[in-house]
Amino acid sequence: MEFRVLKYFLAVARHENISKAAESLNLTQPTLSRQIADLEDELGTPLLIRNKKRTTLTEAGMFLKARAEEIAALADKTVEQLSHADDLVEGDIYIGCGETEGMREVIRAIASLHQSCPRIRVHLTSGNAELVTDRLEKGLLDFALLCRSTPPMEYVYRKLSHEDVWGLFMRRDNPLAGRDGISASDLLTEPLIASKQAVESKEFDHWLGQPAEQLNIVATYNLAYNSAFLVEQGFGSMLGFAGLIPTGR
């Protein structure tokens, strides 16, 4: 499988039309069609659903598109880094970000670095630990900030001074809102919105005294911001890190 042909395939996926993709690649339509057909033969599976007005991806095509995009991003990153191999103060830095106020420490360091090296460009990728770790392992990130209770022994790491505190986000008319504090027993019947990662890693189990799955979890999230709208609409109360969601209204 040639990288050149993968880029051809990505062009077809992007334009959803072989003729338009061929034009963008400065190829003839028959040449591009033949290249894609050869790729399908090599992989032993159809990649495209060809219609007169629109070309869409099969399930195998969608899988290849995701992998091809990762390969293309890594290739671009490699070329960019090699082009600046003799210049350590210019280039791109790719950072994976967990949802935590601890990112303020990272951003302060980046801002200070950028003042002395203004030609550095920073690219942030936000996501949960699963997404960020996957991109880190594939070499698509230079470093990442992970929110986890145990150190990542498989990586060189540094612990930030910031410590996240779990809290319960709820509507003001929730009876629990008048409490001075929330205990594990208060959550036994409360409809909860929880981090999918935290539930699966049993982050809450010790404090709760029982598996989190046994609680009334009505929704899960991988990033907290959008799930706050569920709280706003009375869907449930959200377990999350303090400081991530505005609570002024």
Average pLDDT in the 115-130 region? 86
Residue numbers of the domain that contains 124: 84-145
Average pLDDT of the chain? 86
Neighbours of 13 (CB within 10 A): 20
Q: Please, how many CA atoms are within 13 Å of residue 10, restricted to the half-sphere of its CB? A: 15
Residue 230 CA to residue 148 CA, distance in Å, equals 25
Asked if residue 21 belongs to a domain, the reply is yes
Strand pairing category for 166-169 and 237-241: antiparallel
> Is residue 249 pLDDT above 70, yes or no?
no
Asked if residue 46 belongs to a domain, the reply is yes
Last residue of a domain, one of 16, 43, 74: 74
Asked if residue 150 belongs to a domain, the reply is no
Asked if residue 117 belongs to a domain, the reply is yes
pLDDT digits (tens, 9 = 90+) for 53-100: 788 899 999 999 998 888 888 888 777 766 665 555 678 899 998 888
CATH code at position 46? 1.10.10.10
Same domain for 170 and 237?
yes
pLDDT of 89: 65
Asked if residue 154 belongs to a domain, the reply is no
Asked if residue 19 belongs to a domain, the reply is yes
Asked if residue 156 belongs to a domain, the reply is no
CATH code at position 105? 3.40.190.10
Number of compact structural domains in the chain: 3
Question: What is the DSSP code (8-state) at residue 210?
Answer: S
